[in-house]
Structure formats: C-alpha cells, structure tokens
C-alpha cells in the first residue's frame, strides 16, 4: 500500500491528532522511513484529506476539500471561522454542535451570502473549551449551568450526587466539561468552583476571566526568575551599547498608564527631521525558553480589563526594570530614522542603546498645550512636542496619499469607584497627541519590517489581507440606503474606503459607517511570511514597539538582534524560526481572545451602570437588525436588544437584504443606523444583557 494511504489509515484508526513520530511508529514495521512518512503527510495535507492542527500534529478529515480554522462565535448566535482563505461566516443553523474556540473543518457554500464567504461546519477537529461559567439552576439531583458567555450556546448538565459543591440557585459556578454536545445529547460536566451570587463584589469580572481562561497570577518559578534579574546598564555600556542618555527624551502615554515601553526623541536637521524611537529591550532580560518566556508565550499579550491589568510579564519586569520611567537609566532598542520635510525616509539605524527619559507626559496634557497654546513645563518639552507634531503631520499626509485608512472610533472606558462600582463612562476619541505617537510607532514598525524583508531574514510580520469582495456586499447596501455618492465597493481600493470615511465625517451615521467598514475588512493578524497591510497601505509591517505587552514584538526583537549580529544560524534564532508558524497563529488567536475579554469586562460594567436607569428613556441608534429584533447602541456605547416581542404595535417582517424590519399593517420601518428612543426594560449583569423597548 502507498505510504500516503498507510499514513491516512493510521490517522483514521487513531481518531485523534497524532505526530509524525506516532505515525512512523505504526509504520516502521512495514519498512517505511521517516522521510517517506513526512512526505506522505505533506501530500495528504495538500490534498485536503489531513489537516495539521498545530504543534506538528495531524488529523484525518472525514471528507476531502474542506477548509480548517478556529471558530469565533458571536453573541448573536452566528460565528466566523478564521481559515487560510480568510473569514468564513457560519450561520446558527450550520454550527452543528461546535463551540467557541474549537478548531473545525468547514465546507464552503457555492455562493456567498450577505455576510460574504459562508460555509457549514462538518467536523470538530479539536475542542478548545474545557469548562463553562454559568448561572446555576437545580432540579433535584440534577444541576443545569446556563452559560453567562452568550458565545456558548449549550447548557451544561451536572449530576449533583456525590458532589462536594452545593451551590444555591442563581449562583455563578464553573463546570468542567466531561461530554460535549451532539445532535442527540446535551453537554455534561462536573462542578469545579462556585463564584457566588452574580451581584457579589468582584464576581462580574471573575466571570469574564474564567470565560476566557485568562491567567491571573505567575507561578513561583516565573516570579523567582524575575526577582533574580538586575539592572546592568554600566556592563552593557562597556560591551558597546550606544549611550543616548544625553539625548532629550520623552514618553507620552495615557494618564493612568503603569508601564512605559516606548520613548521618543526628535530634532530638526538639514531641512528635515531625525527621529529616535526607543523601545524597552525586554529581550535582554527575558531569555528564549526560560520560565518567564514560556509563560509570556502562553499569554501572548497583556489583557486590559475594566478594573485590572493581567500583564504578559511579571510586575518586576513590566513596571520596573523594563519600564522607561523618567530619570532612570534603561536598556532600549532604538530605531533612528532620518526623514525629509515631507516625511520620506532618507536613512535609518537600528541598534541597542541606553536612554534616560527626561519627561513623562500624558495625552490629555499634550492635547491641552497644543489646543489652548498653554504653558509647557519647559522649553525642551515644547520644542520636542512641536517638532514631533510637525513630523507626525508629514508622516500622516504620506500615509494618506498611499491609501492608509484612519477609522473614526470611540473607545468607552467605564469609570469605577474604589469598590469597583461603575460611576460613569469616559468616551475617548483619537486626538492630536495620540496621532503623534501612532505615527512615530507606525514608522518604526515599517522600518524594522522593511529591514528584515530586505535582509531576507526569518520574521514575524503583521499582515492585513485585502477585503473579501463578498463581505463588502452589505456595505454597498448600507451606502445606498444612506445615499452616499460611493455605492460600488466591489474590489475597492484603500482610497475608496478613504472617500467613504471622509464623506461620513461629521454625519450622524459616522461611527456606524466606520464600524461597518471595519467589520467588512479581514482581521489583521501575524504571519511568518510577507504580505501587505491593507489598512495601513503598507508593503511591509510588523509589531516591534510594545514588547512589554505583546509577545510578537519580543520575537521580532530577538530576530532583529540575531540578524544584526549575524547569528540567525545560531541559537536561539534557529529554534525561534522553527516555531514561527505556530507562534503567528497562537498570538493572533490570543489577541482576539484578549480583545473579547476586554470588551466583555466593559460590557458587564455598562450593564451594571444601566441597572440604575431601568425605566428611563435614552436616545440611541440601531446598530444591528435581526429577525428577532433591533440592537440599539446608546450614547454611552451600552448596547441592548429591543425584541420583536416588545414591538406590539404591528407584526414586523425582516428584510435581511436591506437590514430592515418592516411593519405589515402600518408600514413602519426600522433600519440600520436609524435614530430611535428606547426605554431600559431590564438588565442581567452576569449575562451582560440589556433589554430595551421602543419608547
């Protein structure tokens, strides 16, 4: 029998992901070599009969010609699978027992729907969810855990006989899954933890942490390794590290920032500019495959929840020896760039350095100095800020000219009191100060990415594929409904998106249009190969500027150092290079999970805030139209559902192509983006649900 058929038979017999070594062990008695097994597995993957699920493991599919990816469920019941072809929309009816986070095989539909490329899940390859957080209900010896996470669509049934945990009805509990749902059987599990009543202090954010399987603390080995680290600035200077401590340097961050991983120096030179972007040299302290590194690799990113930060690195590193605090010598990696007056790069240098930050500035102060021409703390700060503003303006104009997109979005941060209770909502928009830092960081990231591209060195890039034409179909409908001069976005260039954004600026539907455009685009992600970044209209891009909070940046630092010192053929670069494909997928997945957790923690506090306003009327706009009702976003960004059951004045027909609910008798129309007045009818904090009624 041919090696590929033998390997396929072994994988189907095992019925689980298996390594090449496991397959070889089964076939060695038949005289098959390792090389032939690897070649056979590669051929099977190429044919679609086998999928590589990560960590060098292979799994046989039940049928060929499927795409494979990770399922991300939406709280409204549908999902998307991230595949090599891009995002694939999965309708609720096509989920077939898969759960959020599962690795699944998808059969694509012949024609895309209004959500773009679509498909049907035909096989769950690997389960991601191990436990479920939910509200507990008791029925005799049987317990039911109703998930608080709306992305999990199946209840968990638990047998209470013999259980040491005896929660009360409506307590929030954690259940470990022992049997996954099928077409015939419900999901089953055992109780692992009782968090307590949903309204008990701290339970709301604890739910979010457990739903997303976030790590709250560092192990003893990690903390011990971090505690043993020492500042070694003088020794590094003796080894030849560049001494930039006499260069005037600033940091600009949010007022409540705790760690500072980037600093700026800038001067006018020869009719242009010289910019220094100094980034904390985390890779100097965190050795590849050490205890700290392994933990950071698993986390992949820091997570910024509404009431706390779950850092990627121990506090000893993130808040102390790597944080670029004013008046303290710090090891950094510097990107030094010369630009002409138009922002065009004329030359650059990349090198390890030592800096001392002179001023710790914050966005609000810088914006007030610029807008009100207020007094700066000193002449050096004024000169640096004004020069950076001038350079940033030139850089921004160049990015705009090539088609880079600047979406107008609002970031909502719930303000809490000392006890963690919500007081208000702070709405943050992009400002002159945030744009200044963004332009400097984008430039540094591009310089590093282009350098590694030109050196043909192994690299972890940040890529953003062109939008799927089918996914743009709903945007065309909305633009037509709002009577925009640009109605055809099929195959649109970045410049077309720019014109849409510009036309929407200042109009009532501005935030909705921006949000819909973002939703229609593919998600930016990490890759171990070079592709362009559509949103930035960049031919080569990476993440280099935040190694304290993002693991990909730490990898890029290590690879760049190896390239500059001609050590790419030595350790640890060789080992890192071998892991790049897995790291790219893992870091992309964890980034999405962190964003989801951050949003969920904000939503839970928004829900708690709205409990104080039950019965009150608010203005909002329709952010989504579904067959079962209208999702309405309020001015404070809280979003709730006005269910069709509450719309008793008529029978409403759903028109999915036009995103409308239309009354059969009176002809009333509710469409995407429409302004409405709603009354808060009820709130569930644990489930982050706000029930609304049209007022």
pLDDT band of 411, cuts 50, 70, 90: confident
Residue 318 has pLDDT above 80, yes or no: yes
One domain, residues 433 and 476: no
Provide the pLDDT for residue 692. 97
Residue 444 lies in a domain: yes
Nearest to 163 by CA among 179, 152, 174, 147: 174
Per-residue pLDDT tens over the stretch 370-390: 987 778 889 999 999 999 999
pLDDT band of 137, cuts 50, 70, 90: very high
Contacts of 652 (CB under 8 A, 6+ apart): 644, 661, 662, 663, 664, 670
CA gap 56, 582 in Å, rounded: 9
Q: Which residue has the higher pLDDT, 113 or 235?
A: 235
Total domains present in the chain: 6
Provide the pLDDT for residue 69. 83
Residues 623-637: what's their mean pLDDT? 92
Residue 251 has pLDDT above 90, yes or no: yes
Q: Which residue has the higher pLDDT, 270 or 346?
A: 346
Provide the pLDDT for residue 65. 65
Class of residue 54 by CB neighbours under 10 A (exposed 0-12, middle 13-18, buried 19+): middle
Residues 422-428: what's their mean pLDDT? 92
One domain, residues 545 and 415: yes
Contacts of 184 (CB under 8 A, 6+ apart): none
Provide the pLDDT for residue 478. 79
Q: How far apart are the first and last CA of the chain?
A: 72
Identify the weakest region by mean pLDDT among 79-83, 167-171, 366-370, 583-587: 79-83
One domain, residues 478 and 329: no
One domain, residues 645 and 666: yes
CA gap 532, 82 in Å, rounded: 18
CA gap 335, 324 in Å, rounded: 16
Identify the weakest region by mean pLDDT among 49-53, 96-100, 105-109: 49-53
Residue 554 has pLDDT above 80, yes or no: yes
CA gap 481, 658 in Å, rounded: 8
Provide the pLDDT for residue 309. 95
Per-residue pLDDT tens over the stretch 221-247: 999 999 999 988 999 999 999 999 999
One domain, residues 509 and 627: no
Q: Which domain holds residue 343?
A: 220-465+525-601
One domain, residues 340 and 238: yes
pLDDT band of 346, cuts 50, 70, 90: very high
Provide the pLDDT for residue 566. 97
Unique residue bearing structure tokens 């909002």: 620
> What tokens appear for 662 in the block?
């239309």
One domain, residues 106 and 141: no
CA gap 275, 271 in Å, rounded: 13
One domain, residues 581 and 620: no
One domain, residues 136 and 191: yes
Per-residue pLDDT tens over the stretch 151-175: 888 899 999 998 899 899 999 999 9
Provide the pLDDT for residue 305. 96
One domain, residues 192 and 328: no
Highest averaged pLDDT of the listed ranges 257-266, 526-535, 561-570: 561-570
Provide the pLDDT for residue 552. 98
């Amino acid at each position: 029998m041919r090696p590929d058929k033998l390997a396929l038979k072994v994988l189907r017999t095992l019925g689980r992901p298996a390594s090449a070594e496991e397959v070889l062990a089964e076939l060695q008695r038949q005289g098959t070599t390792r090389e032939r097994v690897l070649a056979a597995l590669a051929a099977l993957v190429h044919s679609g009969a086998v999928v590589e699920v990560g960590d060098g493991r292979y799994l046989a599919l039940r049928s060929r010609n499927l795409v494979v990816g990770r399922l991300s469920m939406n709280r409204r019941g549908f999902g998307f699978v991230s595949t090599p072809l891009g995002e694939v929309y999965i309708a609720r009816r096509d989920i077939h027992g898969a759960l959020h986070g599962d690795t699944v095989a998808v059969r694509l539909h012949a024609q895309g729907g209004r959500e773009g490329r679509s498909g049907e899940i035909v096989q769950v390859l690997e389960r991601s969810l191990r436990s479920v957080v939910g509200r507990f209900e008791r029925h005799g010896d049987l317990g039911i855990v109703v998930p608080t996470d709306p992305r999990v669509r199946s209840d968990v049934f638990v047998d209470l006989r013999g259980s040491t945990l005896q929660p009360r009805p409506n307590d929030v509990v954690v259940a470990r899954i022992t049997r996954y749902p099928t077409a015939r059987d419900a999901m089953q599990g055992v109780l692992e933890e009782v968090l307590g009543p949903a309204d008990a202090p701290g339970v709301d954010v604890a739910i979010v942490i457990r739903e997303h399987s976030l790590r709250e603390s560092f192990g003893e080995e990690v903390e011990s390794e971090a505690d043993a680290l020492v500042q070694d600035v003088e020794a590094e200077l003796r080894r030849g590290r560049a001494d930039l401590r006499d260069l005037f340097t600033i940091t600009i961050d949010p007022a409540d920032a705790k760690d500072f991983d980037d600093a700026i120096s800038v001067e006018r030179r020869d009719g242009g500019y010289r910019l220094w972007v100094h980034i904390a040299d985390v890779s100097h302290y965190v050795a590849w495959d050490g205890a700290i590194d392994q933990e950071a690799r698993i986390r992949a990113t820091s997570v910024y929840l509404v009431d706390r930060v779950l850092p990627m690195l121990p506090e000893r590193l993130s808040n102390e020896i790597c944080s670029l605090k004013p008046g303290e010598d710090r090891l950094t990696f510097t990107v030094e760039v010369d630009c002409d007056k138009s922002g065009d790069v004329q030359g650059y240098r990349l090198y390890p350095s030592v800096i001392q930050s002179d001023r710790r500035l914050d966005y609000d102060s810088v914006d007030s100095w610029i807008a009100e021409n207020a007094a700066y703390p000193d002449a050096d700060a004024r000169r640096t800020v004004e020069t950076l503003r001038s350079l940033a303006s030139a850089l921004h104009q160049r990015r705009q000219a090539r088609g880079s997109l600047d979406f107008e979005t609002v970031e909502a941060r719930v303000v809490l009191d000392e006890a963690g209770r919500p007081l208000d909502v702070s709405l943050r928009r992009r400002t002159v100060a945030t744009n200044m830092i963004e332009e400097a960081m984008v430039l540094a990231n591009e310089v590093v990415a282009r350098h590694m591209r030109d050196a043909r060195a192994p690299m972890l890039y940040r890529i953003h594929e062109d939008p799927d034409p089918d996914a743009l179909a709903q945007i065309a409908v909305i633009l037509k409904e709002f009577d925009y001069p640009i109605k055809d976005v099929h195959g649109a260039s970045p410049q077309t998106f720019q014109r849409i954004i510009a036309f929407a600026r200042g109009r009532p539907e501005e935030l909705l249009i921006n949000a819909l455009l973002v939703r229609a685009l593919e998600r930016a992600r990490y890759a171990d190969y070079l592709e362009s970044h559509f949103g930035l209209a960049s031919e080569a891009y990476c993440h280099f500027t935040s190694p304290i909070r993002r693991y990909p940046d730490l990898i890029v630092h290590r690879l760049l150092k190896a390239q500059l010192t001609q050590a790419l053929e030595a350790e640890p670069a060789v080992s890192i290079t071998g892991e790049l494909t897995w790291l790219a997928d893992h870091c992309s997945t964890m980034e999405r999970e962190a964003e989801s957790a951050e949003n969920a923690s904000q939503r839970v506090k928004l829900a708690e805030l709205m409990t104080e306003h039950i019965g009150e009327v608010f203005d909002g706009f329709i952010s989504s139209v579904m067959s079962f009702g209208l999702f309405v976003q309020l001015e404070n960004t809280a979003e709730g559902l006005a269910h069709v059951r509450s719309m008793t004045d008529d029978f409403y027909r759903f028109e999915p192509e036009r995103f409308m609910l239309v009354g059969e008798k009176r002809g009333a129309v509710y469409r995407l983006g429409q302004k409405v007045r709603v009354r808060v009818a009820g709130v569930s904090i644990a489930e982050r649900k706000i029930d609304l009624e049209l007022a």
